[in-house]
């Protein structure tokens, strides 16, 4: 009888311990946490932001990637970073595939800069899935945005980019300082050329930003007012030697100074100068963006066609701020509709410091 009582007591104790174990769990539980669990927060898999850029290998995009990665790390997110082989329209299908893959994987957010039109249907998917979208650099093309707005399904919550007009205006301010004395001492009309790299909004804003600011400064100074003229050449970047053709057209107009609106223009013009000794002597240049050729040209002390300086986009901070705004949207925090990243002037005096600070890149 006594044995039976002891056995019964042991069984009761075992049942009680088992019940508590089933209800409580412990700190060493190795079970899988479900995405969106309100106690444990979202899993790592659900905290991914897809960044689809206009390129991947170029130094500019690598700097963007570095900024994006640092922002993601700060806020506890992962990113995927992809871009087409080139910014040519021939690589548009591959970029569309990248965006569709990100949406199919149900990423938490999308950061995107497109190389062409045709993304409206995919961005509508983002809207329906409540995936916030940040456009950066040159962003989404206007035709796609109009389509999204007309359907009331625009998922774009923020735009992060260099203010192209402001950056070009900064270039004009610095270039005017260099040219002012030559313009005022000129016997005839001093011709300043502008090579606009394409007819996109980026190209238009850079050319107009430069022209408007330079005109404002030159007309406000009695020593230069009425003594200059600005000539503009617009060439598509996809055609071979387009910018060399633009340079030669300006030379025929007796141009004495030239503003070049992107790195592609600088590269072609630099090659033309190297291949045609003496043809462009005495012309003064200013540039936009960065790159090895631009750096070498600025540092060159014996050039008879000087590149006096350039305006760099802060590509690191473009990537950082784009991902940061996407995180804020995902987490229901305040989001800035527009984040303007300032351009920065560099010349032979500060170029090494700008390289060190990841603002001026080589490549």
CB 114 within 8 A of CB 139: yes
User: Do the beta carbons of residue 257 and residue 284 sit within 8 Å?
Assistant: yes
pLDDT for the residue 2: 45
Question: How confident is the model at residue 239, as a pLDDT?
Answer: 64
Look at residue 46 in the predicted model and tell me its pLDDT: 67
Sign of CA dihedral 60, 64, 65, 69: positive
Residues 240-244: contacts with CB under 8 Å, at least 24 apart: 241/268, 242/268, 243/195, 243/197, 243/268, 243/269, 244/268, 244/269, 244/271, 244/272
* Residue 234 bridge partners (DSSP): 196
Q: Which pTM does this prediction carry?
A: 0.73
CA distance 192 to 231: 6
**Over the range 199-217, which residues count as b (16 or more CB within 10 Å of their CB) and which as e?**
eeebbbbbbbbbbebbeeb
Q: Taking the chain (363 residues) in consecutive chunks of 10 residues, what is each chunk's mean pLDDT?
A: 47 44 36 31 68 92 94 97 92 96 97 96 97 94 95 97 94 98 97 93 93 98 98 80 95 97 94 93 96 94 93 94 98 96 94 90 83
Q: Say what the pLDDT of residue 238 is.
A: 57
Q: What is the pLDDT of residue 160?
A: 97
Sheet holding 78-82: strands in order across?
A: 78-82, 48-52, 109-112, 133-136, 156-162, 338-341
Cα torsion angle, 38, 112, 362, 165, sign: negative
Beta bridge partners of 340: 161
Catalogue all structural domains in the chain, each as residue range(s) with its CATH number: 44-154+315-342 (3.40.50.2300), 165-312 (3.40.50.2300)
pLDDT for residue 25? 37
pLDDT for the residue numbered 237: 62
Measured at the CA of 139, the angle between CA 134 and CA 143, to 5 degrees, comes to: 115
């Amino acid at each position: 009888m006594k044995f039976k009582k002891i056995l019964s007591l042991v069984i009761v104790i075992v049942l009680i311990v088992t019940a508590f174990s089933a209800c409580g769990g412990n700190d060493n539980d190795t079970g899988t946490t479900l995405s969106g669990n309100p106690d444990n927060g979202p899993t790592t898999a659900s905290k991914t932001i897809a960044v689809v850029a206009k390129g991947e290998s170029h130094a500019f995009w690598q700097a963007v990637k570095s900024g994006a990665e640092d922002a993601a790390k700060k806020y506890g997110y992962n990113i995927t970073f992809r871009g087409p082989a080139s910014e040519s329209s021939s690589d548009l299908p591959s970029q569309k595939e990248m965006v569709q893959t990100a949406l199919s994987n149900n990423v938490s957010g999308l950061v995107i800069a497109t190389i062409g039109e045709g993304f409206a249907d995919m961005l509508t998917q983002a809207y329906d899935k409540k995936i916030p979208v940040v456009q950066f650099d040159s962003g989404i093309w206007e035709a796609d945005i109009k389509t999204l707005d007309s359907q009331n399904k625009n998922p774009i919550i923020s735009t992060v980019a260099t203010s192209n007009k402001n950056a070009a205006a900064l270039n004009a301010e610095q270039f005017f300082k260099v040219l002012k004395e030559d313009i005022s001492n000129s016997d005839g009309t001093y011709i300043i050329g502008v090579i606009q790299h394409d007819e996109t909004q980026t190209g238009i804003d850079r050319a107009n930003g430069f022209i408007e600011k330079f005109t404002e400064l030159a007309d406000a100074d009695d020593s230069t007012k009425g003594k200059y003229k600005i000539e503009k050449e617009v060439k598509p970047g996809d055609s071979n030697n387009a910018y060399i053709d633009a340079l030669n057209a300006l030379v025929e107009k007796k141009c004495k100074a030239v503003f070049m609106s992107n790195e592609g223009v600088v590269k072609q013009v630099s090659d033309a100068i190297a291949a045609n000794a003496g043809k462009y002597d005495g012309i003064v240049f200013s540039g936009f963006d960065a790159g090895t050729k631009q750096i070498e040209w600025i540092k060159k002390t014996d050039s008879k066609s000087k590149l006096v300086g350039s305006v760099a986009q802060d590509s690191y901070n473009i990537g950082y701020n784009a991902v940061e705004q996407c995180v804020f949207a995902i987490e229901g925090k305040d989001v800035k509709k527009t984040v303007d990243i300032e351009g920065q002037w560099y010349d032979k005096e500060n170029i090494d410091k700008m390289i060190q600070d990841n603002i001026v890149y080589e490549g």
